[in-house]
């Protein structure tokens, strides 16, 4: 059964996603990143190439010829993400089929009130599906 983890009060959504993805990759896990659109997938692909301080995250978009051999796969539709250990839901919508993954990660920015409200609704939906949902307050882990 999938576990859903919400990381909230995050200063920078994309940077937090990169940091968490890097940790998962270091544990030997395969990842999917679900975005909300084709353009968002392209932007995430570009961003992952431009984050040298995190280190290289081997990734590609779902229709790349090496997609099935790449540890991090980016797609705008859940249908384009084969089973992976971890799904990062960066779409802002319920991911659909969360049970296909060991863990679903949702990241909620500190200053995005509408996104927080939508995240609360997704948490309720996940719980209604019988999934375990946990929360990590990233503001609490930052130095004072």
Which pLDDT tens digit goes with each residue over 50-95? 876 666 788 888 989 888 889 999 999 999 998 899 999 999 888 8
Q: Angle formed by the axes of helices 13-26 and 38-49, to 10°?
A: 70
Decide: helix, strand or coil at residue 67.
helix
Closest of 81, 91, 24 to residue 58, by C-alpha: 24
CA dist 86 and 94 (Å) reads 15
* pLDDT score of 140: 80
> What whole-number percentage of the chain has pLDDT above 70?
94
Where does residue 20 fall: left (phi above 0), alpha (psi -120 to 50 degrees), or beta otherwise? alpha
Q: What is the pLDDT of residue 54?
A: 60
Give the DSSP H/E element, type plus range, for residue 85: none
Percent of the chain residues past pLDDT 90, beyond the cut: 60
Residue 144 CA to residue 141 CA, distance in Å, equals 9
pLDDT at 6: 96
**What pLDDT shows up at residue 8?**
93
From the CB of residue 45, how many other CB atoms can be counted at a distance below 10 Å? 17
């Amino acid at each position: 059964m999938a576990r859903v983890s919400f990381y909230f009060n995050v200063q920078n959504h994309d940077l937090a996603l990169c940091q968490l993805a890097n940790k998962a990759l270091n544990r030997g896990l395969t990842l999917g990143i679900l975005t909300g659109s084709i353009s968002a997938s392209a932007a995430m692909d570009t961003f992952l190439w431009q984050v040298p301080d995190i280190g290289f995250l081997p990734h590609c978009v779902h229709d790349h010829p090496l997609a099935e051999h790449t540890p991090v796969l980016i797609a705008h539709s859940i249908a384009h993400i084969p089973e992976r250990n971890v799904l990062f839901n960066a779409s802002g919508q319920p991911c659909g089929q969360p049970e296909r993954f060991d863990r679903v990660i949702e990241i909620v920015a500190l200053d995005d009130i509408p996104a927080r409200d939508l995240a609360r609704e997704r948490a309720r939906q996940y719980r209604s599906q019988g999934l375990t949902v946990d929360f990590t307050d990233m503001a609490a882990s930052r130095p004072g």
